[in-house]
């Protein structure tokens, strides 16, 4: 009986090891493929910012770290001060309270020090806002239009083709795809290129938001707004409309795929055959003169 039990245990252990090995193999086979491609996506129990995919997000992350350090110091200082006051000036330890009502030096200090802290935060904050504001030496321009409830992208200087990007329903997801984040036509961009984004709204106010690329801009009907982004690592960056825009606001994902330049050029050649021109005409490979219009608007605004 003992031998039998031992055999069983050994057999169970063997199965466990084999099972773990299979799981490990599965991880080795699937995780790198996933980790390689998806860079910007929400993670279970994630509390920090998404990893950075480009220079704007790098700056946002370091600014966030700086402000977080300041907040931590202030919070600890106030907590310690409060605890000391509770202990030191309790009725037992301090039966005859001071009647002091003013202290000029102290009042100046607690006005000037917070102002200085705000100045220290404001300077890098404004620098970051202006850094995000305009593309300097943009390599290409993409028009982004928010619509209820999908996105429309136009590659104005790559042949002026335009296409819609619709979310994929949960029931239609393939294994490994992310719920509420996948789209049928991704926004494809070349790695390392400065991309000028011109946004506008089709119906109501939406917001083009891709956290890992540090880009967020309202899309407002009747207005054209500018920002830019750059992905320094090839991969997929997910985002969503983050302006409450109606019933299906929650289901308005953005998927940006950053690929090497050669791959991007191949995609553009194919996209010009597949997608219609921005003026509504049939797909064409010939250069479109209307493409210059948005560029001129962007240049004039500088
Ligand atoms: Cu929206």
The pLDDT tens digits of the residues spanning 80-138 come to 999 999 999 999 999 999 898 899 999 999 999 999 999 999 999 999 999 999 998 99
Give the distance (Å) from ligand 1 centre to CA of residue 231: 23
Q: Ligand 1 center to residue 106 CA distance, Å?
A: 49
What is the per-residue pLDDT for 296? 63
Closest CA to 210 of 43, 26, 33, 54: 54
Q: How many angstroms is it from 206 CA to the middle of ligand 1?
A: 4
> Structure pTM?
0.78
The pLDDT tens digits of the residues spanning 280-301 come to 777 765 444 444 555 565 566 5
Q: How far is the CA of 207 from the centre of ligand 1 (A)?
A: 6
Q: What is the pLDDT of residue 24?
A: 44
What mean pLDDT is reported for the chain? Answer: 86
Architecture of domain 140-301 in this structure: Sandwich (2.60)
Sign of torsion over alpha carbons 174, 175, 176, 178: positive
218 Cα: distance to centroid of ligand 1 (angstroms): 9
Tell me how far the alpha carbon of residue 195 lies from the centroid of ligand 1, in angstroms: 21
Distance 253 CA to ligand 1 centre (A): 9
User: ∠36-68-81 over CA atoms, to 5°?
Assistant: 155
CA 270 to centroid of ligand 1, rounded, Å: 28
Q: Cα(205) to centroid of ligand 1, in Å?
A: 7
Q: Give the number of residues written for the chain.
A: 302
Distance 78 CA to ligand 1 centre (A): 41
Please give the Cα distance from 234 to 202 (Å, whole number): 30
Give the tens place of pLDDT for each residue, 136-194. Answer: 899 999 999 999 999 999 999 999 999 999 999 999 999 888 999 999 999 999 999 99
Q: In the predicted model, is pLDDT for residue 36 greater than 80?
A: no
Q: What are the angstrom distances between the C-alpha of 267 and each of 34, 142, 186, 277?
A: 21, 15, 11, 16
- Output the CA 227–ligand 1 centroid distance in Å: 18
What does the domain layout of the chain look like in residue ranges?
A: 55-94+104-133, 140-301
**Above 50 in pLDDT, residue 254?**
yes
pLDDT at 29: 41
Cα 36 to averaged position of ligand 1 atoms, centre (Å): 29
């Amino acid at each position: 009986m003992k031998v039998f039990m031992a055999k069983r245990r050994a057999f169970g252990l063997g199965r466990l090891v084999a099972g773990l090995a299979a799981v490990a193999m599965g991880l080795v086979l699937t995780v790198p493929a996933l980790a390689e491609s998806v860079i910007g996506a929400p993670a279970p129990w994630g509390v920090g910012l998404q990893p950075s995919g480009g220079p704007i997000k790098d700056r946002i992350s370091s600014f966030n770290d700086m402000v977080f350090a300041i907040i931590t110091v202030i919070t600890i200082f106030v907590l310690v001060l409060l605890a000391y006051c509770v202990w030191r000036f309790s009725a037992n330890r301090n039966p005859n309270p001071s009647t002091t009502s003013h202290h000029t030096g102290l009042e100046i200090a607690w006005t000037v020090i917070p102002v200085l802290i705000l100045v220290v935060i404001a300077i890098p904050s404004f620098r970051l806002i202006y850094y995000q504001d305009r593309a300097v030496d943009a390599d290409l321009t993409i028009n982004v239009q928010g619509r209820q409830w999908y996105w429309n992208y136009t590659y104005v200087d790559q042949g002026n083709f335009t296409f819609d990007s619709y979310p994929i329903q949960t029931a239609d997801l393939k294994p490994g795809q992310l719920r509420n984040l996948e789209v049928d036509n991704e926004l494809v961009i070349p790695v390392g290129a400065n991309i000028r984004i011109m946004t506008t709204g089709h119906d109501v106010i939406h917001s083009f938001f891709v956290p890992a690329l540090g880009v967020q801009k309202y899309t407002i009907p009747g207005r054209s707004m500018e920002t830019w982004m750059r992905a320094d690592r090839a991969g997929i960056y997910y985002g969503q409309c983050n302006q409450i825009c109606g019933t299906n606001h929650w289901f308005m994902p953005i998927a940006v795929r950053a690929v090497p330049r050669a791959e991007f050029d191949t995609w553009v050649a194919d996209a010009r055959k597949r997608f219609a021109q921005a003026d509504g005409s049939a797909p064409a490979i010939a250069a479109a003169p209307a493409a210059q219009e948005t560029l001129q608007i962007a240049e004039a605004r500088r």
